[in-house]
Amino acid sequence: MTMSFVPPQTETELALAAIWAEQLKLEKVGLVDDLFDLGGDSLMMTNVIAKVSERFRVDLTIRALFEAPTIKSLAARIDTLRAAA
């Protein structure tokens, strides 16, 4: 079953979607699109982590991407980390 495209809304979601789209060479990435279903691999994951860490000033691990493989779930995790800092 294919889900409809759900656009990112928040600043964090929009920035993450831009990072993922750039790394995956896609035109757009939706809020509930799964990183691995879109073709994410280990090299791309390390690039995403580096860009996310630089953009949001948070420390993420590869495990974080496995646990939060959508823009929605990863944005929530980043917002929580930023609020705690």
Report all structural domains of the chain as residue ranges with CATH numbers, in order of start: 11-84 (1.10.1200.10)
pLDDT reported for residue 8: 97
Whether the per-residue pLDDT at 78 is higher than 50: the answer is yes
Q: Give the dihedral of Cα atoms 39, 67, 64, 81; nearest 10 deg.
A: 130
Residues whose CB falls within 8 Å of the CB of residue 41, separated by 6 or more in sequence, listed in order? none
Q: Confirm if 31 and 70 have CB atoms less than 8 A apart.
A: yes
Express each pLDDT in 14-50 by its tens digit: 999 999 999 999 999 999 999 999 999 988 999 999 9
